[in-house]
Structure 1
Amino acid sequence: RIHASKAKRLSVCTKARAPAGSSSPRPSEPSSLSCRHARFDMAAAMVWVPILEDGVFRFDVSEAARVAAGPSLSFAEPRRREVVLRDGAGRPAVVPECEVVGDDVHRVLIKLPSGTSFYGTGEASGPLERTGKRVFTWNTDAWGYGSGTTSLYQSHPWVLSILPDGKSLGVLADTTRRCEIDLRQESTIKFAALSAYPIITFGPFDTPAQVVASLSHAIGTVSMPSKWALGYHQCRFSYKSSERVLEVIRTFREKGIPCDVVWMDIDYMDGFRCFTFDNNRFADPKSMVDDLHSIGCKSIWMLDPGIKEEKGYFVYDGGSENDVWIKKADGSPFIGEVWPGDCVFPDFTSERIRTWWARLVRDFISNGVDGIWNDMNEPAMTTTTKTMPESNIHRGDADIGGVQNHSYYHNVYGMLMARSTYEGMVMYNTEKRPFVLTRAGFIGSQRYAATWTGDNLSNWEHLHMSLSMVLQLCEEVCRLALLRRYRLLPHIYTLFYVSHKKGTPVAAPLFFADPQDTELRKIETTFLLGPLLVCASTLPDKGAHECAHKLPNGIWLPFDFGDSHPDLPVLYLRGGAILPVGLPIQHVGEASLGDDLSLLVALDENGKAEGVLFEDAGDGYGFTQGDYLLTYYVAEVHSSVVSVKVLKTEGSLKRPKRNLNISILLGGGAMISSRGVDGEEVHFTMPSEFEVSSLVATSELDLKERLETIRPIPDMDEPSGQEGTELSKTLIVLKSGDWFLKIVPWIGGRIISMTHVPSDSQWLHSRIEIHGYEEYSGTEYRSAGCIEEYKIVR
């Protein structure tokens, strides 16, 4: 223990004297965000320098640690983390503390004002607000995860803090190693990981959107997707033949259900061997793809990192000849069991090996493949530990960290695989935007691939969790929902363009609309798509229209496309916004720039509104050379006359000759409409207040009567009974000593979770006798029948 006076000197206080030789200026007075009275024994304030742009600071445990830090794998341009801003950079509002404990574990503490709310922590299950939670960044195959799972498929050592006054601060722990993110102490962020690592802070800025944009300047923005990639994707656990694939998509077309993409799981392969096709069930993949393309459907095919250890298999033979496999500590190739059986794994930490894989992808794409689905790339194994030993050796290039054991590269293995796959698609065709989906990833993966929420289950709990995860990410109803999605596609595509250029989120939590309103911070079933607010219901017995929706301050006007349904979300448009809307098409290929365009207008309290629409070829990179059309529309009321016009445009693409349909939202779903020509000013007269009230009342009554006549989808969340089984939806909680075990009590059911109660800063250390594998996690998710022994290691 240290003396109280010393503890006071070591608390986070901006009066702390800069270390000798430090280039960091120090303010003379502590700010309102200073971390006082920290409880870490021997904790000391970290040294800092300004980097990147105004409001961004890098902190290290010492000057020596800053010099010795390994390269950043999260930054799009790693050197930018190393360049110090010399002039006009300002001073940090908060300085973290760090202490070193045990076997080189570095604990960082950041104390913020009381009432701070925490978000982020990457792909995490459970509530949107992460206050009071703890996460471990260790990419894990977590089939059937629950709301308490502490490690999922991706690692994002990042926390977004919303301060009591609505300002926002972002914190990134720039380490690839297993990292504990502990937000259980009130208004306090704690990181813990092996070896020294930089802390990067962004802000405080006025809004969370500004923080996210600043983060994107460091880690990069999302890769601009092809327009077809934003349509509906039909995916399931494998189709057994090419005939079945074509049957499914033709049925979509016959029933008028929109669809742009179909996905091929591993059953298309010959014995689960990557880069092969089953000679019987998928004998002619190019012909199947041609048939799909003829009816406007793309195809995406799975590739896993596990390559079957089998002489005569061209991928294995080529990889062995080129020495591409991850090694064990003794220098021999590591062999792990996955779908094909015994497998070897490419070492994507080497550019030479990434190029080898990229060439395989290039050749694979020549079969007509439109996109690649990278799965099992945590990397996952079918053994109890789910991944490879941490003692395995990666021969990484010096610019990403050099030769290291697997514990260093585990969390970035999936991102590096996705990068290699992306580069292979570019290698095949530089004129098309690659589509890669990856299950595993690291902060920065968005530069190469999209992601999804992993192996979720088809139940209400997972539907609810999917909303907060995405933000962090009946036939007739499906048809209505998809047609609605396609009508909103011009707006969604525009949001992706803006996100690609500026780093603003496509989908955002509700509190982004008003960070000062603390009541919005815990809302999980409502989210923003720019000025569009989507209110959903994830309750099995209540439709979205029956739920009480808390709205941000300001004007929010409900609307629909004549498609309201108890099982569809309620839509609102913010006052002051113009929303571009397209036609209800069956796939993106049906649309053209000459199609009619609709604008939904929600006037603000001053009778004004504005909106933007991005248009281009929908694929390729012409937009980077100016071959696009970005239109800014404005609307304004003068003496009861509404005028809608183009304010300005960007890009060299010529405006198509097309009709323009304009609807002014009045409230209660009511609207008035007018037609014109896009590019020309359109005028029409607003109704009187009495007429508006009458239109609103009539619209609300019509909507009420329509919803009362529609039967919601019945809840099909009941498991189907089988002979000899007893079914129950009630979890059974068993306690033994310091352990809680939750199980679903039916034969063939599953263990939901196993949690150690006094979990503070301890690790669950798995002791498995098979091959000496090790595993760390805060909560275990297992299928019934697995047996493991644990001991607690501090």
Structure 2
Amino acid sequence: MQITSSSSKYSVKHYPDSVRKWQKEGNYFYFHTAETILEVRIISDKIVRFRFAADGKFQRDFSYALSEKLEESPVNFGIREFEEVFEIYTDAIRIWVARDNLRLTITDTEGRVINQDEMGFHWQHYLLKGGKIVYCSKQIQEGECFYGLGDKPTDMNLRGKRLENYGTDAYGFQKDTDPLYRNIPFYYGLHHGIGYGIFFDNTFRTLFDFGHERDDVCSFWARGGEMNYYFMYGPDLLQVAEAYTKITGTAELPPLWALGYQQCRWSYYPDKRVMEIAAEFRKRQIPCDVIHLDIDYMEGFRCFTWSKEGFSDPVKLGRDLSAQGFKMVVIIDPGIKSDPDYDIYKQGMERDYFCKRADGALMEGDVWPGKCVFPDYTNPEVREWWSNLFKELVESGVRGVWNDMNEPAVFEMGTFPEDVRHDYDGEDVSHRKAHNVYGHLMSKATAAGLRKYLMPNRPFVITRSCYAGAQRWASVWTGDNVSEWEHLWLANVQCQRLAVSGISFAGSDIGGFIGEPDGELYTRWIQLATFHPLMRTHSASNETGFNQEPWSFGSKYEFIVKRFIQLRYRLLPYLYTTFWQYSHHGTPMLRPLAFVAQQDPQTYNRSHEFMLGDALLISHVDGPGVKEKEVYLPAGRWYYFFNDQVFEGGQTVTIPTPLDEMPLFVKAGAVVPNYPGIQYVGERPIDEMILNVYYCEQPTASMLYEDAGDHYGYKDGQFNTIRYKQVSDKQQFRLKKRFFGQYQASYKKYRVLVHGLPFKPTEYVVDGKAYKLNARNFAVGVVKVMVERKFEELILR
């Protein structure tokens, strides 16, 4: 053991000494020093877990983050001994363990450094709280950039930042506010074109320093628990993202309607007002699928109740909304009112399900209902009880639940005191360990309840707080933002960051929750949110009674807002396909430019531009009165969406930004599927699928995924994956289709719109049969043909 000290009374740090012995047990390697043990677990050729027992004894190997489907798949791995190091090898990487101090260096098979310890693992006693503070420090490589960590409202590249994970109700947060609501201890490193990731699976308060204290050192530490982290090698950043979801789990497909537009306010009250809002959407023919009910729908803010005065017949409300094509989503908070006449309170008290302080007294605090108690969601019995409480809500017509205030937030106190005790699935721990998973487990229990009672339909859950892996059951929103232009920029960055941190199903409160946007800000926010997986307007009540519905700002803005919501609905098959890629492979739906062009240093610090899926590149307008905007396009050819102008990538271009447009580009060669216009999902059977195909001289591939959209038949093979390949030249356009699947879609035809042909064709050929083109087949810059759904090849020549 090596010890260093300084003037700080808590600065005595302990470091491992030399390796005394080592052993191999299957795909686990153990290295023993005088006190510390290092465990190296080979999960795959690119995924490795490092775990340290500071005093020679490992803690319980347990995690709320890990996927139950995580499978070890190492093929060729082993160990070699050298005088100064051990070398653990796989087909993709080499792990070098120093004999004298357990410091780690990870290289690729050609010897290039991917990640390297500085001081590596070390620890100190946490004299104020008990236990140990565990540290790990790494060398920052030349030019290294860092990404990830969930919802941090700061620059995309985290280099030079110091950040913290401790779920916090950050009402009205601003740029660089830290910590925020979510706790995702996962980050990426990128240097010399090489990408990797580190997931520090520790639920205590965790901190990350990306060269803030020392510009050449990256470090992460926790005020309790173990040093237990997963290393993921790309080398592509998107491969790292997929590896992370291999560890923490992929999302289930949501109901398709959850990808539609959603309307919310604190609060739509009473039920008559809810129906007025619904009727106005249909009257104005603005597409919408969901109306949310905030806390005022309850009786005295008591969870799982309905206001007798304002919502006297919730079953009728649910039925009436459904008849107009709306789904009803209700808010549920963790605070249970202390009321002996309240059935939920009585059940929890009788079963001893509420959190307690260290001395055995109930954890009590004021929230919306007044004095409240709080379920201990870390107890599996409590989670099961909680899930059963959703039966009556579902029977009332509720189709989704929105979990709020679950950091947990408590008025005046901020959150729970650290002495609150938790079951933690049988471990009995303090709130220090459970805080960062409290909302995570609440939303897990909520999702379990909805899944149980909505079957065979799919659940929809949105949560404010969570831990790594919540993508398996919940979506998120960025929290209580403000109606300011800076918050539009923050929404853009936060949703990108959440996507690459495993949680693609994310959005922001469109227009801002706090304050009142003007029509321009609201319109620009709608434009950005059109390309966020979760699209919901939400705002707070205020003295003026101002509302944020799409028609609230006058006809000029309503027309543009309606146009973009309609675009969202046309793009639903593309969006759903992108969600399938995320669900099936773990590929982020939103992709920062560095994640799609990591060999291009121009992309490393950019956040204005991002991609949604494989084909669409977006750059929103984030200031008032902006007439034009510079946009960086990565290598390739790009079509400007609104007029099909073609731009070469690898450069910055200047794009006009009239209020009814935003910088939106389509990648050359893409096939972008569209629906015809609909007001809500399921309004009518889709009678044709529109394929927008963008000409490219290079061979390109695209796909369409489809299923019923709202049950689990897809898990039994009731889905289709349709793959398109474009192989064209300057004289001929050719689109090939391959169909895989068993789902019987309602449409029988494709309307194919070919953009950007460099020649004017005279005929089209479908599976070998030629047809003449006439004037009806041509529009400005577009060739239009109708083909049967079963076609295999389309040629224009």
TM-score (norm 2): 0.77
Does residue 256 (structure 1) correspond to residue 285 (structure 2)? The answer is yes
Deviations 1:282-326 (A, max 9, x none): 111111111111111101000000000011111111111111100
| Contact 1:268-1:282 within 8 A present in 2 as well | yes
- Structural mapping, 1:128-527, within 5 Å: 128-163=156-191, 165-183=192-210, 184=212, 185-186=214-215, 188-383=217-412, 385-398=413-426, 402-473=427-498, 474-527=557-610
- Structural mapping, 1:559-638, within 5 Å: 559-560=641-642, 566-592=659-685, 594-606=686-698, 608-637=699-728
Q: Distance in 2 between matches of 1:250 and 1:232?
A: 15
Q: Given residue 278 of structure 1, which amino acid in structure 2 is its aligned partner?
A: S
- Following TM superposition, by how much is the alpha carbon of 1:477 offset from its aligned partner in structure 2, in angstroms? 1.6
- Following TM superposition, by how much is the alpha carbon of 1:670 offset from its aligned partner in structure 2, in angstroms? 3.9
| Contact 2:735-2:795 within 8 A present in 1 as well | no
Q: Given residue 344 of structure 1, which amino acid in structure 2 is its aligned partner?
A: V
- Following TM superposition, by how much is the alpha carbon of 1:66 offset from its aligned partner in structure 2, in angstroms? 7.0
- Following TM superposition, by how much is the alpha carbon of 1:444 offset from its aligned partner in structure 2, in angstroms? 0.6
The equivalent position to 2:622 in structure 1, one of 534, 539, 554, is 539
| Contact 1:557-1:667 within 8 A present in 2 as well | no
The equivalent position to 2:137 in structure 1, one of 82, 85, 109, is 109
Does residue 666 (structure 1) correspond to residue 756 (structure 2)? The answer is yes
Q: Given residue 258 of structure 2, which amino acid in structure 1 is its aligned partner?
A: A
- Following TM superposition, by how much is the alpha carbon of 1:65 offset from its aligned partner in structure 2, in angstroms? 5.7
Q: Distance in 2 between matches of 1:140 and 1:3?
A: 35
User: Identity of counterpart residues, as a percentage?
Assistant: 32
SS in 2 for 1:637: coil
Residue number in structure 1 paired with 2:740: 650
The equivalent position to 2:787 in structure 1, one of 645, 654, 676, is 676
Q: Distance in 1 between matches of 2:35 and 2:635?
A: 42
> Aligned in 2, Cα 1:333/1:143: closer, same or farther, shift over 3 Å?
same
- Following TM superposition, by how much is the alpha carbon of 1:526 offset from its aligned partner in structure 2, in angstroms? 1.4
Q: Distance in 2 between matches of 1:391 and 1:582?
A: 54
Point out where structure 2 has 5 or more consecutive residues left out of the alignment.
5-12, 28-32, 79-88, 96-105, 107-114, 127-131, 499-556, 645-655, 759-779
Q: Given residue 423 of structure 2, which amino acid in structure 1 is its aligned partner?
A: R
Deviations 1:511-539 (A, max 9, x none): 22210111112221211112233333343
- Following TM superposition, by how much is the alpha carbon of 1:280 offset from its aligned partner in structure 2, in angstroms? 1.0
> Aligned in 2, Cα 1:25/1:567: closer, same or farther, shift over 3 Å?
farther
- Following TM superposition, by how much is the alpha carbon of 1:480 offset from its aligned partner in structure 2, in angstroms? 1.0
Q: Distance in 2 between matches of 1:298 and 1:85?
A: 51
Deviations 1:670-703 (A, max 9, x none): 43333322221464546xxxxxxxxxxxxxxxxx
Q: Distance in 2 between matches of 1:576 and 1:48?
A: 47
- Following TM superposition, by how much is the alpha carbon of 1:263 offset from its aligned partner in structure 2, in angstroms? 0.3
> Aligned in 2, Cα 1:471/1:598: closer, same or farther, shift over 3 Å?
same
The equivalent position to 1:50 in structure 2, one of 41, 64, 72, is 41
Q: Given residue 617 of structure 1, which amino acid in structure 2 is its aligned partner?
A: A
- Following TM superposition, by how much is the alpha carbon of 1:172 offset from its aligned partner in structure 2, in angstroms? 1.0
Figure out how many residues of one structure are paired with residues of the other and give that number: 655
| Contact 1:269-1:275 within 8 A present in 2 as well | yes
| Contact 1:460-1:540 within 8 A present in 2 as well | yes
Point out where structure 1 has 5 or more consecutive residues left out of the alignment.
5-9, 27-41, 687-794
- Following TM superposition, by how much is the alpha carbon of 1:394 offset from its aligned partner in structure 2, in angstroms? 0.8
Q: Distance in 2 between matches of 1:275 and 1:218?
A: 34
Q: Distance in 1 between matches of 2:357 and 2:49?
A: 35
- Following TM superposition, by how much is the alpha carbon of 1:565 offset from its aligned partner in structure 2, in angstroms? 5.0
Q: Distance in 1 between matches of 2:393 and 2:637?
A: 52
| Contact 1:76-1:218 within 8 A present in 2 as well | yes
> Aligned in 2, Cα 1:211/1:187: closer, same or farther, shift over 3 Å?
farther
- Following TM superposition, by how much is the alpha carbon of 1:58 offset from its aligned partner in structure 2, in angstroms? 1.5
- Structural mapping, 1:705-744, within 5 Å: none
- Following TM superposition, by how much is the alpha carbon of 1:192 offset from its aligned partner in structure 2, in angstroms? 1.7
Residue number in structure 2 paired with 1:100: 123
Residue number in structure 1 paired with 2:516: none
Q: Distance in 2 between matches of 1:139 and 1:67?
A: 27
Q: Distance in 2 between matches of 1:325 and 1:448?
A: 23
Q: Distance in 1 between matches of 2:611 and 2:495?
A: 12
SS in 2 for 1:299: strand
The equivalent position to 2:52 in structure 1, one of 40, 43, 61, is 61
| Contact 2:196-2:235 within 8 A present in 1 as well | no
Residue number in structure 1 paired with 2:65: 74
Q: Distance in 2 between matches of 1:519 and 1:617?
A: 42
| Contact 2:36-2:54 within 8 A present in 1 as well | no
Q: Distance in 1 between matches of 2:274 and 2:239?
A: 44
Q: Distance in 1 between matches of 2:229 and 2:781?
A: 48
Q: Distance in 1 between matches of 2:335 and 2:25?
A: 47
Q: Given residue 436 of structure 1, which amino acid in structure 2 is its aligned partner?
A: V
Q: Distance in 1 between matches of 2:753 and 2:569?
A: 18
TM-score (norm 1): 0.78
- Following TM superposition, by how much is the alpha carbon of 1:196 offset from its aligned partner in structure 2, in angstroms? 4.3
Q: CA RMSD in A?
A: 3.1
- Following TM superposition, by how much is the alpha carbon of 1:127 offset from its aligned partner in structure 2, in angstroms? 1.5
SS in 2 for 1:68: coil
Q: Given residue 179 of structure 2, which amino acid in structure 1 is its aligned partner?
A: S
Q: Distance in 2 between matches of 1:46 and 1:457?
A: 48
Deviates more, 1:51-60 or 1:343-352: 51-60
- Following TM superposition, by how much is the alpha carbon of 1:55 offset from its aligned partner in structure 2, in angstroms? 1.2
SS in 2 for 1:236: coil
SS in 2 for 1:512: helix
- Following TM superposition, by how much is the alpha carbon of 1:59 offset from its aligned partner in structure 2, in angstroms? 1.6
Q: Given residue 52 of structure 1, which amino acid in structure 2 is its aligned partner?
A: I
Does residue 23 (structure 1) correspond to residue 40 (structure 2)? The answer is no
Does residue 91 (structure 1) correspond to residue 91 (structure 2)? The answer is no
Structure with the bigger percentage of strand: 2
SS in 2 for 1:586: coil
Q: Given residue 786 of structure 2, which amino acid in structure 1 is its aligned partner?
A: R
> Aligned in 2, Cα 1:98/1:363: closer, same or farther, shift over 3 Å?
same
SS in 2 for 1:337: strand
